[in-house]
Amino acid sequence: MRNEPEMFDLILNTAREDSGILAVYMNGSRTNKNAAKDIFQDYDIVYVVKALEPFISDRSWIDRFGERLYMQYPDEFPGKPKKNIEFYGWLMQFTDGNRLDLHVETVAHAVENITKDSLCEILMDKAGVLPPMAPSTDQDYWIQCPMKEQFLCSCNEFWWCLNNVAKGLWREEMTYVQDMVNHIIRKELLKMLSWKVGIMTDFSVSIGKSGKYINRWLTEVEWQEYLSTYFSADIEEGWDAVIRMCHLFEKTARYVGDKLGYEYQEIEGENSLSFLEHVRKLPKDAKEIY
């Protein structure tokens, strides 16, 4: 597996040798000092170029980066604009284990957008086309303190959508249940947990994509409680895990509300959880809910 210096030599030498490449910058986990360093980190590289068309029309130039195991052309997906393209990429997994997410970008697009991502780091600017950049930081991704309306809406979304989980579990429609849990109510639970972390850290950290770093700030008990909300396709396991989600959400929401001075809607949560537990006890031949 090529090491980091070897990969950067290849990336930067490519820019030096090609007159069509004006600058190079990087973003992603390799510019984030708070991200865990390991062998799976991608190289997220952008070449700022004179014109995109030559790089897109003759794709043989990307062969220089190594033998590919497989790759993706995300900008070729249906629905992507085919005209007036200003940003185009190739996602490459190499046979040696390295992964390179490579993009080419127009100068105008780079100038307009590079400062919008605090994790961008300029590696080379041959033509002086890029604006000055502050040292890279994950500050753009820090947890934001919620307004009262955001807090109340998150609570309402969690407790309201539990209705769908209840009927899905009663019907034994596990694919529906998994969607409702993981795409809706889990998002609200993770959001509430992130606000707790924000309060604990004065809203100065990022928990990472999908909350992958949140265990850094939760206690071991809290972390295990959160992990216990995941479940397989077993219906009874699902009921138990969802109830654990409810208790963890309620406890966390009370903490967040108390610390921020927002009133937690206790009756809403109690009634929603009561409905869930009632539906669990309903016989399969029930003709009425109540």
Superfamily of domain 142-281 in the CATH hierarchy: Nucleotidyltransferases  domain 2 (1.20.120.330)
Residues of the chain with CATH 3.30.460.10: 4-137
Chunked into runs of 10 residues, the chain (290 residues) has average pLDDT values of 96 97 96 92 97 93 97 86 85 98 97 95 96 93 97 98 97 97 97 98 96 96 97 97 98 98 95 97 93
Reduce the DSSP state of residue 124 to 3 states and report it.
Answer: strand
3-class DSSP assignment, residue 116:
helix
Rounded to whole angstroms, the Cα distance separating 101 from 120 reads: 14
Contact indicator for 36, 100 with CB cutoff of 8 Å: no
How far is 158 from 162, CA to CA, in rounded Å?
A: 6
Nearest to 159 by CA among 279, 267, 289: 267
Per-residue confidence (pLDDT) for residue 246, from 0 to 100: 98
How many helices (H) and strands (E) the chain has is answered by 9, 6
43-49 vs 68-72, strand pairing mode: unpaired
Spatial distance between the Cα atoms of 46 and 24, rounded to a whole number of angstroms? 6
Residue 104 CA: distances (Å) to CA of 12, 46, 84, 126, 227: 14, 6, 14, 15, 40
Residues of the chain within CATH 1.20.120.330 domain(s) are 142-281
Q: What is the pLDDT of residue 127?
A: 93
| The predicted structure's pLDDT at residue 78 | 82
Q: What is the DSSP string of 54-98?
A: HHHH-GGGGGGG--EEEEE-GGGSTTS--SS--EEEEEEEETTS-
The strand ranges marked E within the chain are 21-27, 43-49, 68-72, 87-94, 99-106, 121-125
CATH H-level superfamily of 4-137: Beta Polymerase, domain 2 (3.30.460.10)
Rounded-to-integer distance, Cα 282 and Cα 167, Å = 10
